[in-house]
Amino acid sequence: MIILENLRKVYGAAGTVAAVDNVNMAVQEGEVCVLIGPSGCGKTTTMRMVNQLIAPTSGRVLIGGRDTAEIDVVALRRSIGYVIQQVGLFPNMTVEENICVVPRLLGWDIPRMRARAAEMLVMVGLDPGEFLHRFPSQLSGGQQQRVGVTRALAADPPVLLMDEPFGALDPINRESIQDQFLKMQRKLRKTVLLVSHDIDEAVKMADRIAIFRDGRLEQIGTPDQVLTYPVNDFVAGFVGADRTLKRLRRIRVEQVHTGLVFTVGSTVDLQVDAAPGKIHMDDAGRVSGVVVQGRDIGVAVVGMDCDLRVVVSELLRLAVPWLPCVDADGRLRGVISQSAISRYLATPALEGSVRANVEVGHAANA
Ligand SMILES: Nc1ncnc2c1ncn2[C@@H]1O[C@H](COP(=O)(O)OP(=O)(O)OP(=O)(O)O)[C@@H](O)[C@H]1O
Ligand SMILES: [Mg+2]
């Protein structure tokens, strides 16, 4: 866990500019916390105080319960992977050498480093045979960013700081690298502090989002919390007037679908492959079988782990009030309806927890 305690950084001879202004927050073990806010609000400064690249004016950072000011700075930085805002691969080193910078410092032997570099590249979707021996100038911007991420992860540090790691990418590359990172993170469970200025990226990547303005922490909470209950006009403006639509991306069919009474019936086998056909809702209680997506059965289905953005898009495209949802094997599990989605979005269940969070933030910041 990373704890920022009354963290403050002031620049200028007269101490005039508070780049980071009394920030209090914690990043839980295994969590991705996204720092977000307008340019110049103190995101990079906050992050660089975590690995002591910038010394705080006051306050402290604790990692795993230890005050980082008391940890040897070299040891500290080796235990923290860092992806900087400008990628920053060493131009005179190959991809392999770049990835192995920290492992080499840690004294790994060559076969172990080689294996690790190759393994890391595969994880971010780059073919080791093709890329290990190239130089950064021989990579696209997106490939460089991927190598930057693997370099930060190579020595398997428990903590990862990422400063706009996917910043300079086109939207398609960006989505795919974000997806790769999320997949990796599900396996590795690093404690991640990630800086972004893109609210869509934050909503997609974050377990919790911390919104900054002028060096101050305005609000911290899950994407759903900050989108549902922005604490003030600044946060509301920052997350956008379409914040309810933005929530859809982080809600899955599983959470909203209505289980069907008709999943129990088993008198008719659908045999969809052999004899495609439609079932009427009223008849569904008597059937079982596998629902197959496609024109043949004249019905669109959505998976249980599908996000509601896709579902709503399909509901609108097809102009229907509901869609059947199926599990990974194609078995009908229920329906997801426009009205159930509306009810879910209107639920005030989270309000208490986010207010509490916010009060803690404000009280500590006061
Ligand atoms: N060395 C410095 N001396 C004086 N002011 C600085 C220094 N470094 C940063 N600042 C100021 O501190 C504030 C916060 O900078 P920081 O780099 O943390 O912003 P940021 O949120 O990362 O912005 P961006 O999204 O543009 O990267 C800015 O107003 C910046 O001008
Ligand atoms: Mg920055």
DSSP 333-356: EEEEEHHHHHHHHH--TTHHHHHH
According to the per-residue pLDDT averaged within each range, which of 72-86, 208-222, 245-259 is highest? 208-222
In a 3-state reduction of DSSP, which class is residue 324? strand
- Among 47, 74, 75, 72, smallest CA distance to 61 is for 47
The pLDDT confidence band at residue 290, using thresholds 50, 70 and 90, is low
pLDDT of residue 286: 55
* Residue 108 dihedral angles phi and psi, to the nearest 5°: -65, 150
Between 318 and 85, the more confident residue is: 318
Name the CA radius of gyration of the chain, rounded.
24
- Using alpha carbons, list the distances in angstroms from residue 162 to 13, 48, 50, 82, 152: 30, 10, 12, 6, 9
In a 3-state reduction of DSSP, which class is residue 90? coil
pLDDT of residue 270: 44
Arithmetic mean of pLDDT, 77-104: 88
Q: Ligand 1: which of 4, 11, 85, 161 to mutate, most ligand atoms within 8 Å of CB? A: 11
pLDDT of residue 281: 53
Specify the residue for token string 């890391």: 120
pLDDT of residue 283: 54
Between 287 and 226, the more confident residue is: 226
- Among 352, 345, 356, smallest CA distance to 219 is for 356
Q: Which of 71-80, 140-149, 168-177, 255-264 has the lowest mean pLDDT?
A: 255-264
| Binding pocket residue ranges, ligand 1, CB within 6 Å | 11, 17, 19, 39-45, 197
Numbered ranges of CATH 3.10.580.10 in the chain: 253-345
Ligand 1 atom nearest 46 alpha carbon:
18
Q: Ligand 1: which of 45, 51, 57, 214 to mutate, most ligand atoms within 8 Å of CB? A: 45
Arithmetic mean of pLDDT, 281-285: 53
pLDDT of residue 239: 93
Distance, CA of 310 to CA of 133 (rounded, Å): 40
Q: Which of 134-143, 206-215, 286-295 has the lowest mean pLDDT?
A: 286-295
Ligand 2 centroid from CA 218, angstroms: 17
pLDDT of residue 88: 81
Numbered ranges of CATH 3.40.50.300 in the chain: 2-242+353-365
The pLDDT of residue 106 is above 80: yes
pLDDT of residue 93: 93
Those residues whose C-beta lies under 8 Å from the C-beta of residue 206, and which sit 6 or more positions away, are: 32, 33, 34, 194, 222, 223
Q: Ligand 1: which of 23, 35, 43, 46 to mutate, most ligand atoms within 8 Å of CB? A: 43
Q: Which of 59-68, 95-104, 280-289, 355-364 has the lowest mean pLDDT?
A: 355-364
CATH code of domain 253-345: 3.10.580.10
Superfamily classification of domain 2-242+353-365: P-loop containing nucleotide triphosphate hydrolases (3.40.50.300)
The mean of the pLDDT values for the chain is 83
Question: Nearest residue CA, atom 24 of ligand 1?
Answer: 39
- Among 46, 37, 38, smallest CA distance to 18 is for 46
Arithmetic mean of pLDDT, 225-252: 92
Q: Which of 34-43, 65-74, 168-177 has the lowest mean pLDDT?
A: 168-177
